[in-house]
C-alpha cells in the first residue's frame, strides 16, 4: 500500500494541555507521525511519497470561507494583539449569546474554536495545509485507479467542523478527501470513523447531504470528548436523513462488542451503495491509550483491517488520533496489513 507523508506536520508542535488536573505535554505531538512512518518503513508496507499541493480551493468546498481566512491569519493577529504565548480561546458564544463574529482576535478565536486544548502556533496553518495535501494526494491516487492508500495525516481532522477547529484538528482531511472524490465524479462516498472519539466535524459537514454516508464508532458523549454530539438518534437531516449512523459505546468497551458495531456499520455502508470508502483511522481505541477507555489490543487492529478489506471498496485510510505513541505505529500499520491480508 502506498503511503503519503509530509515533513511539514512538524510545524504543529504545541506545548501543553490540561489533563486530569495537570498541565502535561500535548498528546498530539510530532513523534506520533515519526513512529508511524518508521513502522511503515520497517514493515515494507510500500512506497512512501510526498504530497502534491492543491491550494485552498478543495478546503473551501467543505469549510466556511471566513473560517479558512481566520486559520490563515489568526497567529499574526494573536501576536499583533500583544500575546506572547500559543493562541487559545477563553470565551465562547454559548447558549443565548449571539453568534456574531467579533473583530478582536480574543473574541474571534472563541467564535471559531470548539474547545480549548488545541494550541494554535506560528506553524499551525502550514501544518494543517500539509495534512490536507496528504489526504488529497491519496484521494487522487485512488481516483486514478489505486485500490487503497494510506494518508499519514498530521494534524488530524475529524473534529474540525464547517467553521470550527478543536480536538487537535484544524481542517477536516477526511471530509475534504470525500468531497474530492465527488468532484472527481464519484457519486456515493462512505466515511467510516473508527477513532475513539466521535467525528463531530465530519458529521457536521455532511449532515444534510446524501452523497456522503458517515458512520462513527466512539466513546459515548455522555462520558467522552466531544461530549455534545455523537448519540445514536443523530441520523441526518433533510436529504441527509438516514445517511448518518452513530455507535456510541460505553467506556471500557472490549473488542468483541466494538467489532460487532463495526460489522453493523459495514453492513450499512454496503446497503447505502458506497463506491469508495474513507477510513478515519484513529488508533486511540487501543487499551493503553492515555486519554481513551476502549480495550482493543494490537492484534485486534489486524483483525478489523482484514474485515474492512472484505467490504470490497477502494479505500483511503486517513490518519486521525492515537496517543499511545510507542505503539501507534504497530497499531496503525496492523490495520493496513490486515487490510492487505483481507484482499
Residues annotated catalytic, as ranges? 159
Closest CA to 285 of 228, 340, 216, 239: 216
CB nearer to ligand Q9C: pick between 234 and 284: 284
Closest CA to 336 of 39, 9, 30, 32: 39
Residue 195 interacting with ligand Q9C (CB under 6 A): yes
- Position among 110, 221, 266, 321 found at the interface with ligand Q9C (CB under 6 A): 321
C-alpha cell of residue 329: 505505529
**Residue 310 CB, nearest distance to Zn ion (Å)?**
25
Q: Which of residues 89-148 bind ligand Q9C (CB under 6 A)?
A: 117
CB nearer to ligand Q9C: pick between 291 and 311: 291
Other CB atoms within a 10 A radius of the CB of residue 34 amount to 16
- Tell me the C-alpha distance between 40 and 59, whole Å: 28
Residue 284 interacting with ligand Q9C (CB under 6 A): yes
Residue 282 interacting with ligand Q9C (CB under 6 A): yes
C-alpha cell of residue 185: 465524479
* Per-residue mark of binding to ligand Q9C, 46-85 (x: CB under 6 A): ----------------------------------------
Look up cell 475534504; give the residue: 176
Q: Residue 92: left if φ>0, alpha if ψ -120 to 50, beta else—which one?
A: beta
Choose the contact partner of 19 out of ligand Q9C, Zn ion, none; CB within 5 to 8 A by kind: ligand Q9C
- Position among 58, 119, 156, 305 found at the interface with ligand Q9C (CB under 6 A): 156
> Which of these ranges, 56-64, 143-151, 162-170, 327-335, lies near ligand Q9C under the rule CB under 6 A?
162-170
Other CB atoms within a 10 A radius of the CB of residue 222 amount to 11
- Where along the sequence are the contacts to Zn ion (CB under 5 A)? 195-197, 282, 284, 321
Contact 277, 316 (CB under 8 A): yes
**Residue 96 CB, nearest distance to Zn ion (Å)?**
30
- Position among 78, 168, 304, 317 found at the interface with ligand Q9C (CB under 6 A): 168
- Tell me the C-alpha distance between 259 and 205, whole Å: 26
Taking CB atoms, the residue at the shortest distance from Zn ion is 321
- Position among 14, 110, 119, 167 found at the interface with ligand Q9C (CB under 6 A): 167
CB nearer to Zn ion: pick between 154 and 197: 197
- Position among 291, 316, 318, 335 found at the interface with ligand Q9C (CB under 6 A): 291
**Residue 118 CB, nearest distance to ligand Q9C (Å)?**
8
- Listed in sequence order, the DSSP H helices in 49-104 are 57-60, 65-80
User: Is the alpha carbon torsion for 212, 218, 223, 225 positive or negative?
Assistant: negative
Q: Hey, what's the torsion of the CAs at 225, 227, 233, 235, to 10 degrees? A: -60
CB nearer to Zn ion: pick between 58 and 201: 201
Q: Which of residues 223-252 bind ligand Q9C (CB under 6 A)?
A: 225
Contact 110, 91 (CB under 8 A): yes
Q: Is 67 helix (H, G, I), strand (E, B) or coil?
A: helix
Where does this chain bind ligand Q9C (CB under 6 A)? 19, 117, 156, 159, 167-169, 195, 197, 225, 282, 284, 291, 320-321
Amino acid at each position: 500500500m502506498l503511503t503519503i507523508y509530509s515533513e511539514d506536520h512538524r510545524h504543529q508542535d504545541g506545548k501543553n494541555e490540561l489533563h486530569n488536573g495537570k498541565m502535561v505535554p500535548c498528546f498530539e505531538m510530532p513523534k506520533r507521525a515519526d513512529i508511524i512512518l518508521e513502522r511503515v518503513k520497517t514493515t515494507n508496507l510500500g512506497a512512501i511519497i510526498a504530497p502534491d499541493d492543491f491550494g485552498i480551493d478543495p478546503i473551501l468546498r467543505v469549510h466556511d470561507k471566513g473560517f479558512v481566512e481566520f486559520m490563515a491569519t489568526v497567529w499574526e493577529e494573536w501576536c499583533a494583539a500583544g500575546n506572547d504565548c500559543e493562541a487559545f480561546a477563553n470565551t465562547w458564544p454559548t447558549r443565548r449569546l449571539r453568534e456574531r463574529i467579533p473583530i478582536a482576535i480574543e473574541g474571534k478565536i472563541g467564535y471559531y474554536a470548539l474547545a480549548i486544548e488545541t494550541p494554535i502556533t506560528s506553524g499551525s496553518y502550514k501544518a494543517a495545509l500539509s495534512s490536507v495535501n496528504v489526504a488529497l494526494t491519496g484521494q487522487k491516487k485512488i481516483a486514478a485507479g489505486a485500490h487503497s492508500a494510506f494518508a499519514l495525516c498530521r494534524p488530524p481532522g475529524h473534529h474540525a467542523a464547517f467553521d470550527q477547529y478543536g480536538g487537535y484538528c484544524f481542517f477536516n482531511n477526511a471530509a475534504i478527501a470525500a468531497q474530492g472524490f465527488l468532484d472527481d465524479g464519484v457519486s456515493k462516498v462512505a466515511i467510516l470513523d473508527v477513532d475513539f472519539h466521535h467525528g463531530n466535524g465530519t458529521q457536521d459537514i455532511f449532515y444534510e447531504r446524501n452523497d456522503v454516508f458517515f458512520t462513527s464508532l466512539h466513546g459515548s458523549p455522555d462520558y467522552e470528548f466531544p461530549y455534545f454530539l455523537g448519540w445514536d438518534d443523530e441520523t441526518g437531516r433533510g436529504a441527509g436523513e438516514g445517511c448518518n449512523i452513530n455507535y456510541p459505546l460505553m467506556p471500557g468497551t472490549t473488542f468483541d462488542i466494538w467489532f460487532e458495531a463495526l460489522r453493523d456499520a459495514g453492513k450499512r455502508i454496503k446497503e447505502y451503495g458506497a463506491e469508495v470508502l474513507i477510513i478515519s483511522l484513529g488508533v486511540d481505541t487501543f487499551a493503553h491509550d492515555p486519554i481513551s477507555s476502549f480495550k482493543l489490543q494490537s492484534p485486534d487492529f489486524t483483525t478489523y483491517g482484514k474485515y474492512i478489506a472484505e467490504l470490497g471498496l477502494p479505500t483511503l485510510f486517513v490518519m486521525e488520533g492515537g496517543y499511545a505513541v510507542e505503539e501507534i505505529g504497530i497499531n496503525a500499520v496492523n490495520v493496513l496489513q490486515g487490510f492487505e491480508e483481507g484482499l
